[in-house]
């Protein structure tokens, strides 16, 4: 690096330290306060509110056991997947809307990340349409990957490859899709050029769930399952978690119920089901939480589901909100056994929202598995403003399900499409036969939620179509009448409480749109996907560079009321600096 640049970054680094030093953060409990999970005086909020309850619950049949998910420790992947610049180990440029957020804490040293774990899944490759014209997958409404990536970039580091899930990056943002009328969903599609491979095209598929006025939302039965173990004893963990929950409780009414279960070496009921309008009782229960001890998550999960079933609301929103860093070290700790435990519990009709906190020993792989198997969603909270986005601004889509087991199946026209590949959704793939199988589990979608998927397609007749030998026992026959349709999207979903799925479909015609004529949403989602390809070090990213992605993202920024798209552009700029 040139001396002028070193001088410049040194000045920026010193200025950042001065700024961070002026911010106040919640006090961290002392070692004496941290010796036990919670003192008796801490637990004595109201005697009637803290006594354990004996609950009889049904014992659902166990699903087929699945092997543990393989994880990749960050320490093992950094050498291959990260480029670091020692002079930029700071929070990074503060994005629009984040300037006064006191929950952005000074970043740790690079060695502080070495106990984080992620599940690395190989990216999807191109499939020959003649060989397999169907692509089937479950929807994904998680957003944790994007906010976790933001945390890495703002600390001056690129994330490990396993932390990058392109579908979660794209779905972090909302898009201007048509509002449903008679049906609970609308399907919209758009075709345009592929910026990183001019010979190919991109297809954007957008799903918009029906929105409801806040007064129409059903009452909620919420059980907070809070990790108060010793690993949560950091300003960006339990203190941030407590502030986040306090924000949500302000939105609860007398018709809602809230309970709190905490776990460390063992689990305890801090607050029994309490009406949402008893604000003082709820605040006291939250504010007196302190951290300490090991992490017996499986015991807490059992107690939380028992509590949710005790106050179960038929026709209501029954949900557990698990908040943790995922560092489970007592009781059931293997991924496979945790999957089995959660899969059993979801049959009770109780949904699961997983909120990840912290850094250094953050176990993203564990948190993702819990949400996927528990009829739930997963977000990573790195700041109070992110907590506000997830729990307040997007409360309906985060906490209120609209439909269950939502699946997509795309049929490509071989006369128009030679090959295709889905960007992201690697761990959401389904067998084509599972689309019509109502016993096959898939993702849930919340009220007002948007879901976006991108396909890169190779036009028919292209020389880059993957080669497949001609079939010996089967002859491929095209329909005699040509069609301008490039694909058909089919969507299956189960209404809440329903056992049989319903079907929607939508077709897309071929066109020759230039990038400048595509929608703002198309261009912005394409920029986000391109960024994900760079971070994943994709073999398909050879022709992508940061200046082009920045230009593309700016052209698709649009109104950007909350500033989330402007923040993304700043992350691109920061990433470009880190890689230089």
* Tens-place pLDDT, residues 170-208: 999 999 999 999 999 999 999 999 999 999 999 999 999
Does residue 307 contact residue 57 with C-beta atoms inside 8 Å?
A: no
Does residue 377 lie within any of the structural domains? yes
- Within 8 A by CB and 6+ apart from 164, the residues are 145, 149, 532, 535, 536
457 Rama sector, left if φ>0, alpha if ψ -120 to 50, beta otherwise: beta
Query: Length of the chain in residues, anyone?
Result: 580
Question: 232: which 2 tokens?
Answer: 């949560």
pLDDT per residue as tens digits for the range 65-113: 343 434 444 443 333 333 333 333 333 333 333 333 333 334 444 444 4
3-state class of 11 per DSSP? helix
Total count of domains within the chain: 1
Does residue 240 contact residue 276 with C-beta atoms inside 8 Å?
A: no
Helix then strand then coil, % of the chain, to nearest 5: 35, 20, 45
Does residue 272 lie within any of the structural domains? yes
- DSSP secondary structure letter of residue 237: T
Rounded Cα distance between 80 and 320, Å, is 37
Rounded Cα distance between 404 and 432, Å, is 18
Question: 413: which 2 tokens?
Answer: 């026209």
- DSSP secondary structure letter of residue 84: B
Rounded Cα distance between 442 and 160, Å, is 27
**pLDDT for the residue numbered 504:** 97
Instruction: Measure Cα distances from 409 to 172, 205, 302, 476, 506 in Å.
Output: 22, 11, 35, 21, 11
Does residue 416 contact residue 486 with C-beta atoms inside 8 Å?
A: yes
Rounded Cα distance between 340 and 351, Å, is 15
Q: What are phi and psi of 377, to 5 degrees?
A: -135, 165
Rounded Cα distance between 166 and 146, Å, is 8
CATH number (domain holding residue 15) = 3.40.50.410
Rounded Cα distance between 265 and 300, Å, is 10
Q: What are phi and psi of 280, to 5 degrees?
A: -65, -45
Cross-strand pairs, 267: 263
As a whole number of angstroms, the longest Cα–Cα distance in the chain is 80
**pLDDT for the residue numbered 81:** 39
Q: What is the 3-state secondary structure (H, E, C) of 164-200?
A: CCHHHHHCCCCCCCCCCCCCCEEEEEEEEECCCCCCC
Does residue 438 lie within any of the structural domains? no
pLDDT tens sequence for the chain (580 residues): 554 444 445 544 544 544 444 444 444 343 333 333 333 333 333 333 333 333 334 444 434 434 343 444 444 333 333 333 333 333 333 333 333 333 333 444 444 446 899 998 999 999 999 989 999 999 999 999 999 999 999 999 999 999 999 999 999 999 999 999 999 999 999 999 999 999 999 999 999 999 998 889 999 999 999 999 888 888 889 999 999 999 999 999 999 999 999 988 778 899 999 999 999 999 999 999 988 766 556 788 889 999 999 999 999 999 999 999 887 765 555 667 778 888 888 888 899 999 999 888 898 998 898 888 888 899 999 999 999 999 999 999 999 999 999 999 999 999 999 999 999 999 999 999 999 999 999 999 999 999 999 999 999 999 999 988 888 898 777 665 678 999 999 999 999 989 999 999 999 999 988 999 999 999 999 999 999 999 999 999 988 999 999 999 999 999 999 999 999 999 999 999 999 9
**pLDDT for the residue numbered 217:** 94
Does residue 32 lie within any of the structural domains? yes
Q: What is the pTM of this model?
A: 0.81
Does residue 150 lie within any of the structural domains? no
Q: What is the CA radius of gyration of the chain?
A: 24
Q: What is the 3-state secondary structure (H, E, C) of 111-167?
A: HHHCCCEECCCCCCCCEECCCCCEEEEECCCCCHHHHHHHHHHHCCECCCHHHCCHH
Question: 561: which 2 tokens?
Answer: 């009321």
Does residue 397 contact residue 379 with C-beta atoms inside 8 Å?
A: no
What residues make up the domain containing 390? Answer: 1-120+213-399
* CA-wise closest residue to 257 among 302, 305, 318, 315: 318
Does residue 273 lie within any of the structural domains? yes
Q: What is the 3-state secondary structure (H, E, C) of 394-443?
A: CHHHHHCEEEEEEEEEEEECCCCEEEEEEECCHHHECCHHHHHCCCCCCE
**pLDDT for the residue numbered 78:** 39
Does residue 516 lie within any of the structural domains? no
Residue with tokens 């189960």: 494
Rounded Cα distance between 389 and 398, Å, is 10
* CA-wise closest residue to 97 among 573, 565, 562: 562
- Within 8 A by CB and 6+ apart from 357, the residues are 232, 236, 237, 238, 240, 241, 323, 324, 325, 380, 381
Question: 127: which 2 tokens?
Answer: 């499939």
Rounded Cα distance between 146 and 168, Å, is 6
370-402 in b/e form (b: 16+ CB < 10 A) is bbbbbbbbbbbbbbbbbbbbbbeebbbbbbbbb
Does residue 245 lie within any of the structural domains? yes
Cβ of 353: how many Cβ atoms within 10 Å?
23
Question: 533: which 2 tokens?
Answer: 């390809």
- Within 8 A by CB and 6+ apart from 306, the residues are 53, 55, 57
Rounded Cα distance between 226 and 304, Å, is 10
Cβ of 243: how many Cβ atoms within 10 Å?
18
Residues 434-438: contacts with CB under 8 Å, at least 24 apart = 434/136, 434/407, 435/136, 435/407, 435/409, 435/490, 435/492, 436/492, 438/405, 438/494, 438/499, 438/500, 438/501
Question: 400: which 2 tokens?
Answer: 């209120």
* CA-wise closest residue to 143 among 165, 118, 164, 168: 168
**pLDDT for the residue numbered 480:** 58
Q: Residues 361, 366, 372, 373: is their CA dihedral positive or negative?
A: negative
Question: 40: which 2 tokens?
Answer: 């008796």
């Amino acid at each position: 690096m040139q001396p002028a640049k070193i001088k410049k970054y040194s000045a920026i680094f010193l200025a950042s330290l001065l700024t961070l030093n002026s911010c106040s953060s919640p006090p961290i409990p002392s070692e004496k306060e941290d010796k036990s999970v919670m003192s008796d005086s801490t637990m004595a909020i109201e005697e009637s509110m803290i006594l354990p309850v004996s609950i009889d619950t049904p014992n659902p049949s166990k699903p087929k056991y699945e092997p543990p998910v393989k994880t990749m420790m960050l320490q093992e992947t950094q050498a291959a997947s990260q480029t670091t610049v020692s002079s930029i180990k700071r929070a990074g440029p503060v994005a629009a809307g984040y300037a006064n957020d006191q929950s952005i804490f000074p970043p740790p040293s690079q060695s502080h990340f070495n106990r984080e774990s992620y599940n690395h899944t190989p990216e999807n490759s191109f499939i020959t349409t003649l060989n397999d014209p169907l692509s089937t997958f479950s929807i994904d409404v998680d957003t944790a990957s994007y906010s976790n990536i933001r945390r890495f970039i703002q600390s001056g580091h690129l994330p490990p490859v396993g932390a990058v899930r392109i579908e979660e990056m794209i779905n972090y943002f909302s898009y201007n899709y048509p509002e449903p009328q008679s049906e609970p969903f609308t399907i919209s599609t758009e075709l345009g050029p592929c910026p990183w491979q001019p010979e190919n095209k991109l297809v954007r598929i957008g799903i918009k769930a029906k929105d409801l006025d806040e007064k129409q939302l059903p009452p909620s039965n919420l059980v907070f399952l809070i990790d108060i173990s010793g690993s949560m004893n950091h300003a960006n963990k339990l203190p941030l978690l407590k502030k986040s929950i306090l924000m949500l409780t302000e939105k609860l009414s007398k018709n809602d119920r809230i309970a709190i279960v905490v776990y460390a070496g063992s689990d305890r009921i801090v607050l029994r089901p309490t009406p949402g309008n008893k604000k003082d009782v709820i605040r006291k229960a939250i504010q007196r939480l302190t951290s300490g001890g090991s992490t017996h998550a499986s015991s807490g999960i059992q107690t939380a589901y028992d509590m949710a079933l005790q106050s179960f609301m038929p026709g209501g929103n029954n949900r557990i909100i698990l908040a943790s860093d995922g560092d489970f070290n007592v009781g059931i700790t293997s991924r496979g056994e945790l999957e089995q435990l959660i899969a059993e519990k979801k049959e009770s009709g109780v949904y699961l929202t997983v909120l990840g906190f912290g850094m250094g020993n953050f176990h993203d792989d564990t948190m993702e598995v819990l949400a996927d198997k528990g009829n739930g969603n997963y977000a990573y909270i790195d700041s109070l403003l992110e907590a506000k986005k997830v729990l307040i601004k997007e409360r309906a889509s985060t906490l209120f399900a609209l439909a269950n087991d939502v699946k997509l199946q795309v049929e490509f026209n071989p006369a128009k499409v030679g090959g295709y590949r889905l960007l992201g959704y690697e761990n959401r793939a389904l067998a084509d036969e599972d689309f019509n199988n109502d016993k096959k589990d898939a993702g849930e979608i919340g009220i007002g939620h948007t879901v976006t998927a991108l396909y890169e397609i190779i036009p028919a007749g292209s020389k880059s179509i993957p080669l497949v030998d001609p079939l010996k026992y089967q002859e491929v026959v095209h329909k005699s009448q040509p069609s301008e349709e490039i694909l058909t999207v089919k969507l299956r979903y189960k209404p809440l409480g329903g056992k049989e799925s319903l079907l929607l479909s939508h077709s897309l015609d071929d066109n020759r749109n230039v990038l400048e004529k595509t929608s703002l949403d198309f261009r912005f989602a394409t920029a986000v996907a391109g960024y994900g390809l760079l971070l994943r070090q994709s073999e398909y990213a050879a022709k992508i560079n940061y200046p082009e992605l920045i230009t593309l993202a700016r052209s698709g920024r649009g109104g950007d009321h909350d500033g989330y798209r402007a923040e993304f552009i700043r992350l691109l700029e920061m990433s470009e600096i880190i890689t230089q």
